[in-house]
Structure 1
């Protein structure tokens, strides 16, 4: 008996030693989830029966399936940041989707006994209560923040599966836009030995950067080391996969401080939007000869400088931010994160010449930041839309005093190693900016940024210029960021000590794709019976302006360091100017690209200025104006060339040249009195030497004849996640777009994939995204198909009454 006990104890000791030194594992919890909407008593319990719940895959947004309804989160409020003094009924402010309420998720997972185990949530909307095996493991209220909790003490030690249950609640009037609902970002189980590098446990900086060499400083936190002597061996691996620098250092974790190593990288490949080179620091933690943990830190080598009077410099080269603001939703996919969808958006922005993203007004998904690293987008990461003073009755102000620092620290630790991040924002148009004491709150947040990451400056999106110039709020920030108020830039530059100005949010031009209102003239707050906005790109909100003004400021003054346009893509909610009792509008009109990922005309205006490497030549409007024969139709051309000549049915309307007579003439070519007659429109562009270099045509479309399917995708990955965006066009016999067609189209997907969603970009359309049918909007819409997990061919069929069915086949491999 004594020998048997000794044997058992030896086995247990062996298990403990093995777990102490076991390597980390990471498991994504995607499948096997059960979900129900509504508050359910006892749903956290291990004996609760969830067999009748819905089976879902996470990431999951339960509210995107609708239905749209005017009464969903109907808000009677005065929007103070828009200078409203009296409350009014806001319809569609949060997208008209049923995001309010409680949702429960349950799943089970295995962990080897004795392991240190963390649950990592990239985001959970919202007020997450996390239970493991029936016991509350943690609470995290902010739906946009990534967080983790140590669940080691809650795990089963008898080999049984562990139950994970998550309760989420979205309260009414908790948002100004559609926030999504549920476990809309990834959930992971991370296990390690007892001595390990914690979640987001490294900080990597590049104190010196030059073309000849760069210095790299890596600080690695290690938990539970006590007085164990550690050896840390780190290899710096180049973008080509070669080890370019190594260090092996031995020592102790002193007073909880990180383990520090320094490296030299000769002739580094510098990270930039044009060349997003990425390195890896692979660190192995040893006790003697026993490997305890391996941790990889991806990073880029680059320098950033913000110089008074001169502007922003990346790797020693002056440049202006050509950025956009983006909300987190993915249009018809809702808030559920999908890497393929994010990549699709970034490709479109890259083609436009965009080089920067502001995460307005929330902490981003890590997948977005990773893609910006890889694809070459600079980032301003922003955490909050409100601080201690409310914008929304049930907004973040309820948690700010207790949670702001914890939320900020998580964000900073998670993203401070990403080279794409070039500044932090601490907030957007917060009411606190009006207060005489508001600068103290701003300093509190800025100090957290400086403490956790001294390498990047801090800004804030400010819209109350009088207040922030007078009360010290703007002067206290590293970078003064102004939302709109372009006419105040010069005053701010002269009064503020930083002597630089950032357009932290610009333009807010509104437009509906393919909709044109006459005459084409500048209008603030224009509204029409059809609840649309004109795509001549001259309509804007009362607080904002046309894009041309921001282009001119960036071009004329070194001290303006660029802009972040509101917005890159349309998003769900905030249907300005139709937010006040103007249902059925449910999505914004600010986007350069619509909710269906189809570019608006404005896309080509930005492209003509921002994309320096490729030709742009675009004509608007369409040329189907039945009933307008003999009447004047304004024709605009967006091009990177200085001049162009316009022809209608062979008749010249003369050559226009960009000039400075008005700010619009500086960037657009415009013919305001073109007599409409059906037929062909042609534009010929000329270079600076007067040589004809490009030509573009459009034609009056005849009767709708067939459906045309277009996509840039040639194949899909058989991973069950990959998406293809297919543009559906209703065209005449010759293939000309029928720009006024709005018929119902039906979709069918066969083979190695499935139908995921569709959208048409019409902010007034109440068609549900997940049903396999959608009305065209001005002749177009987008169908999103998703690959299965088995190789084969995916076939999309699109049909409509009176039109020939179209088919598209994509290999899934």
Structure 2
């Protein structure tokens, strides 16, 4: 086996020197052969609520200092209570991560409105495992991708970490504290404090992103230590100026070099270079640098998101000791004061949405595959850009954005130049700077200090920190309260002067003045619209629902509609584009109402990802390569015969002719922004629109009066799952009439039953006033739609079957194939 590895590695080295070898299949073993990255997600013990510190005396239970003196909790390895190694957690609930305990809580009118009326608080997690004696001498690192909100971590009874942001990942070198061998159990305890809030939206609570245990050589690539962002030179040639941070936990100074190979989608090495050796002192780190020329790569774009793999291998002499794979893309970006945004030297208007990170049924504990689902929905709408409002995203979202071709405005949580928060900013840039999808670093959102010298200085420091780590992407800040362009004169001391791209939240009526005040700076609308509507509702009830006609908006939105917001941006040719508020609805901040509304009425898609009217409006505004035509509302208005019904055609066609039961109502010219509306006296039957371009029919769309619900229908987003215990799929639940047509006015209870290698992990229906549990075997169809999220079982294979029943309706059943896949490498759970 060793001989085979050496032969493979020699092939790698030769391919770097001999261009003739570049087209050959990948010779060396994958990067995972040199380090172990093991999932820690399974088998945690969970306890809601705090535990008194004196509930258990930790350490060895031996007082070495006499009967009247105790040092428990103050000495390494001697933590008290649930943090202690020997604490009995057998009665605690067993959970797998990611886990959001807050989404499981009942709604409480007395709880925080901004957090969606869900009680939060404090909870504990514990996990035990063993390390074989063969791991002694390796670097052992714990990695937490996200814990909401603040937390304290203990390893083997020693307090090792405090985390001050629920959105920042953190790593813990547990090498000095690790215990090895069959008789030694390692214990991780995490006290999560979700009483505090970092934001004014639903943040959940718990270890809601993935956890990992990484084992690697004493000399190794530090976490987030590869910087391999391709750059196109003035001569048109591409090069990867790779920088690799090498760490050394060994007892003496070490020497190492790095080989950086570039592999295409077929696994062929197309380029590579080797650095000069560098010296790394014990318990220190250093950066190895090497330039890797790459000839004629396929470019990454929103239409063709071509990706390559950079494999960085650490060499000590001729021996490979560590390796990391990094996904990259070749593309150029530029923000220009006159031309807006350019991708690969071609102007591209940013058709963006802002989004929080929760989803129906699962809260913030979003399965990886749901990020793909959500981005695909946004791309279907015509969106090409995504703002991670107002915090760093899950890394899996950026991976999905890279694969699917979605541009990202990557935003930090805290506008703060103190050491702790600059540390969080550095982490964000180091983690995300290789993603081709990331085009902007956002330093703040609507900060009170942004309007004065203090804010200008904070932004200046943060901007400098970003530039130390990445000079290829500009910075911005989402600025509103500064009145950036009042009277055409910019405040000489505000945060906009310290960033590269001026970001505007709303203020559409000031666009011309802001442009005049910053003639030499690129400008982007970092947030706009804030249009509110409730999916499937077409009559406003000012206590809880808003009609879905794109005509209601809060006072801070200075344009009347989503259509008006985009029109204002589109008519500023120098603007890079904009990010609407929001793509998906979210829990908390239940604008425009409070209780009983527990989630926002913003969103082109609701909490489940079902389209609202704004989805179709955006589609008509943004999609350029095909005709778009959709009618709203539905045509089920029994009891309103002869009464006028407002009808909106969301379209990019030139004209629309509207027919009711085959009779022409009226043909109208469609405004490219306002589109076209009618008042139509209601009669049952078929309402049909015909769209024309240049006098030729290019699109038809119809709504019909349906019958009463007769049966249920289940439609999964995908028909197959990987049996890895992580893959998940949303399933749409509908009520249909006797002719198989969805009934858009159906509101009824549905019982659910799941069998096979998987489980129902959450339900929802997009109703912002819904207070039903999001976990369980029941869901209510709201205005025709509901959703069930199914997840495979680890090691599962076979047929996962979901069955839905409702009183008086024909039941429905859907089958999803679960395919056997290699088990995700993970840390076995052991009893303490």
Structure-to-structure mapping, 1:586-665, within 5 angstroms: 586-659=598-671
Q: 1:351 to 1:173 in 2, by over 3 A?
A: closer
- Residue in 1 aligned with 2:418? 401
Match of 2:811 in 1: 805
Output the CA distance in 2 between the equivalents of 1:359 and 1:747. Answer: 34
Matched residue, 1:4: none
Corresponding residue for residue 822 of structure 2: none
TM-score under structure 2 length normalisation: 0.86
Deviation at 1:741, TM superposition (A): 2.2
Aligned ranges 1:507-546 → 2 under 5 Å: 507-517=529-539, 528-544=541-557, 545=559, 546=561
Distance 2:207 2:373 in 1: 22
Asked whether the 8 Å contact 1:793–1:809 carries over to 2, the reply is: yes
Paired residue for 2:383, among 339, 344, 354? 354
The match for 1:71 is 110
2:73 aligned with 1:51: no
Task: Tell me the equivalent position of 2:715.
Answer: 710
Corresponding residue SS for 1:516: coil
Q: Structure 1 stretch 713-722 or stretch 222-231: which is displaced more?
A: 222-231
Residues 678-731 of structure 1: per-residue CA shift (max 9 Å, x gap): 1111111111x2112222221112222111222331222222222222211112
Partner of 1:563: 578
Structure 1 residues 722 and 287: CA distance shift in structure 2, 3 A: closer
Q: Given the alignment, which residue of 216, 236, 242 partners 2:240?
A: 216
Match of 1:685 in 2: 691
Distance 1:276 1:211, change over 3 A: farther
Out of 773, 776, 789, the position equivalent to 1:771 is: 776
1:408 and 1:499 map into 2 onto residues whose CA distance is: 24
What secondary structure does 2:418 align onto?
Answer: helix
Shift of 1:158: 4.8
Where do 1:468-487 residues align within 5 Å?
Answer: 469-470=490-491, 471-487=493-509
Q: Which residue of 2 aligns with 1:14?
A: none
CA shift, 1:435, in A, is 3.4
Paired residue for 1:759, among 753, 761, 764? 764
| Correspondent of 1:195 among 219, 222, 231 | 219
Question: Match for residue 169 of structure 2?
Answer: 146
* Structure 1 residues 654 and 452: alpha-carbon distance in aligned structure 2, compared to 1, 3 A threshold: same
User: Would you say 1:666 and 2:689 are equivalent positions?
Assistant: no
Q: Give the Å deviation of 1:541.
A: 1.1
- Cα deviation for residue 94 of structure 1 reads 0.6
Q: In the alignment, which residue of structure 1 is the partner of 2:410?
A: 381
1:235 is matched with 261
Aligned counterpart for 2:454 among listed residues 437, 445, 449? 437
Find 2:522's aligned residue among 500, 521, 526. Answer: 500
Q: Which residue of 1 aligns with 2:131?
A: 110
CA, structure 1 residues 775+229, in 2 after alignment: closer, same or farther (shift >3 Å)?
closer
Contact 1:285/1:291 (CA < 8 Å) preserved in 2? yes
Residue pair 1:122, 1:147 contacting (<8 A) in 2 also: yes
> 1:131 is paired with a residue of what secondary structure?
strand
Please report the TM-score for the alignment, with normalisation by the length of structure 1.
0.88
Contact 1:212 1:268 in 2 (8 A): no
| Counterpart check, 1:207 vs 2:212 | no
Say whether 1:550 aligns with 2:561.
Answer: no
Match of 2:290 in 1: 261
Offset at residue 628 of structure 1 (A): 1.9
User: Aligned partners of 1:181, 1:302: CA distance in 2, in Å?
Assistant: 38
Determine helix, strand or coil for the equivalent of 2:102. Answer: coil
Partner of 2:41, secondary structure, is coil
Deviations 1:94-131 (A, max 9, x none): 11112233333333342622211111111111222111
> Structure 1, residues 194-221: CA drift from partner, whole Å, max 9, x if none?
1111101121233326996411110111
Aligned partners of 1:212 and 1:266 also within 8 Å = no
Give 1:23 deviation, angstroms.
3.4
Indicate the larger mover: 770-779 or 606-615.
Answer: 606-615
> Which has the larger displacement, 590-599 or 777-786?
777-786
Q: Deviations over 1:585-615 (max 9, x none)?
A: 1111111001122111211111122222344
What is the rounded CA distance, in whole Å, between the counterparts of 2:761 and 2:324 in structure 1? 36
Instruction: Pick from 661, 667, 676 the counterpart of residue 682 of structure 2.
Output: 676
Is the 2:719–2:817 Cα contact (8 Å) retained in structure 1? yes
Task: Indicate the residue corresponding to 1:119 in structure 2.
Answer: 142
Residue 95 of structure 1 corresponds to 116
CA distance change for structure 1 residues 37 and 714 in 2, over 3 Å: closer, same or farther? same
Counterpart residue number, 1:299: 328
Measured in 1, the distance between the counterparts of 2:321 and 2:333 equals 36
Larger CA deviation: 176-185 vs 743-752: 743-752
In 2: Cα distance, 1:269 partner to 1:179 partner = 39
Question: What is the number of equivalent residue pairs in this alignment?
Answer: 743
CA distance in 2, matches of 1:179, 1:487: 33
Cα gap change, 1:259 to 1:436, in 2 (>3 Å): closer
Which of 314, 318, 325 is the aligned partner of 1:289? 318
CA distance in 2, matches of 1:679, 1:433: 56
Deviation track 1:446-482 (CA, whole Å, cap 9, x = no partner) reads: 1111111111110001111426831332233210111
Counterpart in 2 of 1:521?
A: none
SS of aligned partner of 1:223: strand
Cα shift readout 1:232-260 (whole Å, capped 9, x = no counterpart): 22211123321111212332248965111
2:208 aligned with 1:184:
yes
Measured after TM superposition, the shift of residue 157 of structure 1 is: 4.2
Summarize deviations over 1:640-671 as a string: whole Å, max 9, x none. 22211001122211111123xxxxx6341211
Aligned-partner Cα distance in 2 for 1:802–1:408? 56
- Residue 570 of structure 2 aligns to a residue in which SS? helix
How well do the aligned residues superpose, as a CA RMSD in angstroms?
Answer: 2.0
How far the C-alpha of 1:176 sits from its partner, in A, is 0.9
- Counterpart-to-counterpart distance in 2, 1:110 and 1:180: 32
Gaps of 5+ in 2: 1-32, 54-80, 820-832
Partner of 2:153: 130
Partners of 2:783 and 2:323 lie apart in 1 by 55
- Among 452, 465, 469, the residue aligned to 2:469: 452
Q: 1:16 aligns to what?
A: none
Alignment CA distance shift 1:496-1:35 (3 Å):
same
Per-residue displacement from partner, 1:528-556 (whole Å, max 9, x unpaired)?
34401110011111111311223223432
**Alpha-carbon deviations, 1:277-310, whole Å to 9, x = none?**
1112212222222222212222111111112211
Q: Distance in 1 between matches of 2:469 and 2:380?
A: 35
Matched, 1:417 2:434: yes
Q: Give the SS at the match of 1:450.
A: helix
Structure 1 residue runs of 5 or longer lacking an equivalent are: 1-21, 74-91, 389-399, 518-526, 660-664
Give yes or no for the alignment of 1:251 onto 2:283.
Answer: no
In structure 2, the residue matched to 1:463 is 480
Residue 482 of structure 1 aligns to a residue in which SS?
Answer: strand
Cα separation, 1, equivalents of 2:543 and 2:647: 22
Preserved contact between residue 447 and residue 481 of structure 2 (Cα < 8 Å): no
Q: How does 1:779-790 map to 2 (within 5 A)?
A: 779-788=784-793, 789-790=795-796
Residues 741-764 of structure 1: per-residue CA shift (max 9 Å, x gap) = 211111111223222221111101
Contact 1:752 1:794 in 2 (8 A): yes
Secondary structure (helix, strand or coil) at the match of 2:247 reads: coil
Aligned equivalents of 1:46, 1:314: Cα separation in 2 = 54
2:451 and 2:482 in contact (8 A); partners too: no
CA distance in 1: counterparts of 2:280 and 2:717, whole angstroms: 54
From 740, 743, 752, the counterpart of 1:738:
743
Farther off after superposition, 744-753 or 421-430: 744-753
1:161 maps to: 185
